[in-house]
């Protein structure tokens, strides 16, 4: 019996860490609360055609219209170091889970390339 429990536990851990389970659903956020937090995003993402030059030339994407799950997962990936852009990692590291949920909710309800 014990052998079966160990095998089941190992299988569950393996499945949970697989890429198919890597993208989590976005937690419910409050778009209205994000208005207090968007200044740090808008400094780059709110400028049409903006490119960064550090650490390399990078076209900064627009956030409006992206799915909340994608945005939350991207911010969490920067926060954990899975995504490597240093500026984004620093910004994401300063965000709480609630901040990330609020920002994801705000930008997912914005029009593509625009903001509310």
pLDDT at 72: 96
Kindly state whether residue 38 falls inside one of the protein's structural domains. yes
Q: Domain total for the chain?
A: 1
**pLDDT at residue 57 above 70?**
yes
Kindly state whether residue 90 falls inside one of the protein's structural domains. yes
In contact, 110 and 71? CB cutoff 8 Å = no
**pLDDT at residue 69 above 50?**
yes
| Containing structural domain, residue 65 | 29-116
Kindly state whether residue 11 falls inside one of the protein's structural domains. no
Q: Which band of pLDDT confidence, cut at 50, 70 and 90, is reported for residue 54?
A: confident
- pTM strictly above 0.75: no
In contact, 82 and 20? CB cutoff 8 Å = no
Nearest residue to 93 via CA among 72, 79, 110: 79
Kindly state whether residue 15 falls inside one of the protein's structural domains. no
């Amino acid at each position: 019996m014990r052998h079966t429990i160990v095998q089941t536990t190992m299988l569950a851990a393996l499945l949970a860490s697989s890429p198919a389970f890597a993208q989590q659903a976005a937690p419910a956020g409050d778009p209205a609360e994000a208005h207090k937090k968007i200044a740090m995003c808008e400094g780059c993402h709110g400028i049409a055609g903006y490119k960064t030059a550090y650490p390399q030339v990078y076209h900064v994407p627009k956030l409006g219209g992206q799915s909340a799950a994608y945005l939350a997962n991207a911010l969490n990936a920067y926060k954990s170091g899975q995504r490597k852009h240093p500026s984004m990692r620093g910004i994401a590291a300063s965000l709480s889970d609630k901040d990330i949920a609020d920002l994801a909710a705000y930008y997912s309800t914005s029009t593509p390339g625009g903001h509310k």
